Amino acid sequence: MPATARGIASAVRSGDVSAVDVVAAALRRVEAGDAAIGSFLRTYADTALERAGRVDAAVAEGRDPGPLAGVPVGLKDVLTTEGIETTCGSRILEGWQPPYDATVVQRLRDAGAVDVGKTNCDEFAMGSSNENSAYRPVANPHDRSRVPGGSSGGSAAAVAAGFVPVALGSDTGGSIRQPASLCGTVGMKPTYGRVSRYGLVAFASSLDQIGPFALDVADAALVYDVIAGHDPMDATSIPHPVEPVTGGLDRGLDGLTLGVVEELSSGAGFEAEVLDRFRAALAEAERAGARVVDVSLPSTAYALSAYYLIAPAECSSNLARFDGVRYGLRVGADDVEAMNRATRAAGFGPEVKRRVMLGTYALSAGYYDAYYGQAQRVRTLVIDDFAAAYERADVLVSPTSPTVAFALGERTQDPIAMYLSDVCTIPSNLAGHPAISIWCGDGAAGLPVGLHLMAPALAEPLLFQAAAGFEAVLGTKAAAV
């Protein structure tokens, strides 16, 4: 049976294999192997097999079921699915069944894809290790004593383990790209507004984006082409037409100028094996015809601090809706205020509480300008720095994460060390620009290292071209099981 999404879709559309068989095989892989990894919170076999049967019926009737015909997909559990439990990895939403599908979910299904389950994640997408899930941590398929990254660690692990060929995650400060790096997959964050957020349970609304995981760039490009585009249900959705990216994957690196970001590729915290693999990737790119130059993004020195004011401030506002009144958990008490307090105390985990309190403080009277307002000014400086860098380079590059996957439990008592995992990815979220992580080799212990590529807003075709060019000379990492 084909291993890639495009191979599966081609075989299903031609009638060589049935979508039902493909989906049933994926469900068996999850059943057999996921107990040791924890990448899925739940699967829904009956619903998935029914949808797969509709794909096969379309083929039998001579209709084209779409470019993702029969492809099994994992959905991060922050994406709403009508009638299927969506918890955001939190006890406060345990048992909640949304009344509608997220736009990206509907677009996948319209393209013939079959979502088979909801993947595990840090609670409300807040975390860099997938240890903040209220249900269980996720293990890295390449070394089960280590983290897969977060917050979309379940989606990254499901693809890295070979359970599904593609999955969706969300990325607020690196939550697609950092786990892609640690698990050796491709993970891509689109331009802010390029993919609809309708049906994405919000963490930080000015930063969140949905994007694909895959084992290679071509599969990620195929999924991106399906989910990208304007959606009137999302007020921040960009109305401009989408230029497909799949047609330009063979253009290569020859003639491209790659800007090595000084602040994101050196200094304390970067492991030697990560920098070694990064430099080796750049050498391969030069041999393939790329020009490599140094660029500076000086304001990124403050990006991490700005992010951890902006994101918590927005999350404190967004999560105010989880009050025990309208949906989800309710803990009984003598009055509404006491019920609110008891519900949130029981339903939210420590990391969510930490960020809500930080964000509420940053937005409070007397501190708004000093904290949230100042962080937004830093955000503008970061955007200006990117604009200057793109005058010298087509694509910017850095490691995706300063380290390879760290041990489970290693950083749970040190929030600052955990937050530093996203130091290379956060600037793209603040700027709203597209970025992608691809595998660029393994460290000494066989753990994956990620290469991070960044491009200007709406330059996804260029970004995917560069990523595919690197992949052509670096290869891809095989699934772990």
CA 98 to CA 83: how far, in whole Å?
6
Q: 5-248 adopts what CATH topology? A: Amidase signature (AS) enzymes (3.90.1300)
What integer pLDDT is reported at residue 354 of this predicted model? 95
pLDDT along the chain (481 residues), means of 10: 91 97 98 98 98 98 97 98 98 96 98 98 97 97 98 98 98 98 98 98 97 98 98 97 96 98 92 97 98 97 96 96 91 94 95 96 90 96 98 98 97 91 97 98 95 98 98 96 72
pLDDT, position 1: 66
Give the pLDDT score at 258.
Answer: 98
Q: What CA–CA distance (Å, rounded) separates 158 from 174?
A: 18
CB 29, CB 162: distance < 8 Å: yes
* Cα(198)–Cα(213) distance, integer angstroms: 19
Per-residue pLDDT, 366:
86
Phi, psi of 94 (to 5 degrees): -60, 125
Instruction: Return the exposure string of 26-45: e unless at least 16 CB atoms fall within 10 Å of the residue's CB, then b.
Output: bbebbeebbeebbbbbebbb
Task: Quote the pTM value.
Answer: 0.97
Q: Which residues contact 453 (CB under 8 A, 6 or more apart)?
A: 395, 396, 397, 435, 436, 437, 438, 463, 466, 467, 470
Instruction: State the first-to-last Cα distance of the chain, in angstroms, to the nearest integer.
Output: 15
Report, as residue numbers or ranges, the catalytic residues. Answer: 76, 151, 175
Cis bond leading into 151, ω under 30°? yes
Distance of alpha carbon 408 from alpha carbon 148, whole angstroms: 9
Task: Please report the pLDDT score of residue 54 as a whole number.
Answer: 98
Q: Please state the domain extents for the chain.
A: 5-248
